[in-house]
Amino acid sequence: MLTIYGVTKGHLEERQHIAPRSLVRLTNPEDWEIDYVRKTCGGIDGNDLRAAMDDEEPSRFEENGAYTLLVVDVPVPELHGKTQAYRTYPLAIITTAKSSVITTSRIDFAALDSSGIDPRKVTIIDGKTRFVYDLLMHMATAYQRYLRDIESRRARLVEGLNHTSRRTRVSDLVTLHSLETDIVYLETSLSGNRAILERAARSPRILADKTDETLFDDVLIEIRQADEMARTYRQLITSTRELFSSVMDNGLNTTMKLLAAITIVLAIPTMIAGFYGMNVDSAGMPFADSPFGFLIVIVLSLVLCIIAVRILRNRNLL
C-alpha cells in the first residue's frame, strides 16, 4: 500500500503524487509501487526500499549520494493463542535530498496510526517536518510501554505465588517463559537501535541544525532508558524464575518428606503382623491364647502408630 502526504498551510494532507517535502509510506508494497517511488524520488536503490520486507533485517544506517537509510526495529504486540506477546519488525526510514521522507515496512505498524503517531499530526517547525523524530520518539515510548506491561505481568505472577495450585504453577512457568522470550526480543532490538541511532547522531544529514540536535537527543535519551529498562526487567525475570524453581523444589521436598513419614508409620503394623505370621509355636507369642488377642494387637499397633506420628511431628517430619 502506498500513501503520500504533503505539507499544506502548516498541516499534512494526503496527496496523489510525490512532491518535495512529501511523506511517503510503503506498507507491504507491490513491485509497481516500489518502482514508482524509486523513479519519482530518483537515485534510490530498490533493494533499500525492500530492506524492511525481511523480518530478520538488522538495524543499520547508511548514507548514499542522494539519500540516507535508517533501519530500526519497531515493537509490535501480537496474540499467540490467548497469550499477549511482543515481537519486533524492521522499519526503513529514507530521507531524500528534497527533504522527503519515505518509510517502508512489511506490516502496518500501530506506531504510525491511531495508537501512536498520525502523519497528519506530525510536528512542523520552521516549515520543516519532524516526522522522523516523531516516529523515533513514539517507537522509543512504545518500547517503554510494552516493557512496563511485561514487568506488571511478572509482578502479578509473584503476588499470586502463595495462592496457586500445582497446575497453576505450571501455567505460571509457561507464562514466565513467554515473558522472558518477549523481553529477549525487545532487549536485542533495543541494543541494535541504540547503537545505530548513536551512530546516526554523528551524521550532518540527520542533525542539520540545533533543533534537530535537541530532538534527536530526546530520542536517544528515551532509547537508552528503554534499553536499561529491558536489562533490569530481564534480570528480574531471571530472579523470578529462580524463585519459582525454589518454591517447586521446596514443594517436592515436602512431599517426599511426607511420603517417607507415612512409610515409617505404616511399617509399624506391618512389622507386628509379620511377627505373628511366622510359623513358630504359638505358645511363645504374646496374647496368642487370649480370646481378645487380635483386638489387643490391633490396639497396640494403633498406639505405636500414634506415638510415631507424635514423634515425627515434633521433629517437623510430618
| pLDDT at 1 (0 to 100) | 83
**Looking at 175-184, 210-219, 294-303, which range is the least confident one?**
210-219
Same domain, 173 and 128: yes
Most confident of 122-131, 232-241, 266-275: 232-241
What's the CA gap between 116 and 131, in Å, rounded? Answer: 12
| pLDDT at 66 (0 to 100) | 80
Select from 207, 222, 250 the last residue of a domain: 250
What's the CA gap between 285 and 274, in Å, rounded? Answer: 12
- Strand spans (E) along 44-147: 60-63, 67-80, 83-96, 101-105, 124-125, 128-129
Scan for cell 500445582, then name that residue.
Answer: 166
The predicted-structure confidence for 29-70, as pLDDT tens digits, reads as follows: 888 888 888 888 777 888 888 888 888 888 999 888 788 889
Same domain, 151 and 241: yes
Same domain, 213 and 304: no
**Looking at 40-49, 60-69, 189-198, 204-213, which range is the least confident one?**
204-213
Same domain, 259 and 246: no
| pLDDT at 231 (0 to 100) | 94
Tell me: pLDDT of 111 over 50: no
pTM of the complete model: 0.78
Q: What percent of the chain has pLDDT over 70?
A: 86
The predicted-structure confidence for 243-264, as pLDDT tens digits, reads as follows: 888 887 887 888 888 888 888 8
Residue 6 vs residue 51, higher pLDDT: 51
Same domain, 246 and 301: no
Q: Count the domains in the chain.
A: 2
Residue 151 vs residue 66, higher pLDDT: 151
Same domain, 299 and 282: yes
Q: How many CB atoms lie within 10 A of CB 91?
A: 25
Same domain, 83 and 156: yes
Q: In this structure, what CATH number is given to the domain that contains residue 269? A: 1.20.58
Tell me: pLDDT of 117 over 50: no
Tell me: pLDDT of 166 over 70: no
Tell me: pLDDT of 270 over 70: yes
Same domain, 295 and 178: no
Scan for cell 510430618, then name that residue.
Answer: 318
Average model confidence (pLDDT) across the chain: 82
Same domain, 227 and 262: no
- For residue 47, give its domain range: 2-250
Residue 64 vs residue 165, higher pLDDT: 64
Residues written for the chain? 318
Same domain, 141 and 244: yes
Q: What share of the chain is helix, strand, coil (3-state, %, to 5)?
A: 60, 20, 25
DSSP 8-state symbol, 284:
G
| pLDDT at 289 (0 to 100) | 75
